[in-house]
Amino acid sequence: MKHYLGNSGAPMKLPVDEMLSDEKDFQRHVERSHLNREAEWREQALAEYERNGGRAVAIPVETPNADYSFQKASDENWFFAVGSTRSNVTGVVTAVPGADGKPVVSLDYQVNVWDRYNWDQGKHVDVWLYEIPDGEMGQQHKVGLAQEFNMAGSSSVKHYELGSGAAVPGPDEPGRAGERSDPGRGARDGGGEIDR
């Protein structure tokens, strides 16, 4: 909201590792919507590995976009700061000869998240006892007192061996830089990074 009212329209970088760490439902959404292709990707990499005569192969992968809405009940901060986003996963599946001669298939991937910070007519948000129509907040943009902006970010790169039976890696612990518990927070100018 502060960035919106700052009226610059500058893009804002979303801290995706922090989003995944804070909001377990969002992490589950990524696993169900994007990382559920393990068998398909493994089979594709093994087939290419065989066609390549048992030499290492690398195959780029990208999942379709999927929408996610943060819920006020599970994480009020992300609900008010971002609301809803689109996400996907991009990465590379590799198949390389293992020590025992059998191929090892791995995925290196990032979670990508993006949206446009705007206030759409016909929606509203409840803050404490007050219902705030999105159209009223959007009016600030229309009259030049605020500026909509794009938000986007990517997680750190994760490595996952496909077919190993191991759990999908959890998000990196992002630290708490910039939040209310960060002593240096007051010195920041509020532009460029998300300020929840």
For residue 84, pLDDT over 80 is answered with yes
Query: What per-residue confidence (pLDDT) applies to 88?
Result: 97
Q: How many CB atoms neighbour CB 22 within 10 A? A: 18
Q: What is the mean pLDDT of residues 66-73?
A: 91
Residue with the bigger pLDDT between 38 and 72: it is 38
Burial of 119 (0-12, 13-18, 19+ CB in 10 A): buried
Q: What is the mean pLDDT of residues 85-101?
A: 95
Q: What are phi and psi of 68, to 5 degrees?
A: -145, 135
| pLDDT tens track for 123-175 | 656 666 666 655 555 555 556 667 777 899 999 999 999 988 888 888 877 66
Identify whether the C-beta of residue 5 lies closer than 8 Å to the C-beta of residue 139. Answer: no
Q: How confident is the model at residue 75 (pLDDT cuts 50, 70, 90)?
A: confident
Identify whether the C-beta of residue 45 lies closer than 8 Å to the C-beta of residue 57. Answer: yes
Q: Which residue from 125, 58, 48, 63 is spatially nearest to 92, judged by alpha carbons?
A: 58
Q: Which residue from 50, 61, 51, 60 is spatially nearest to 103, judged by alpha carbons?
A: 50
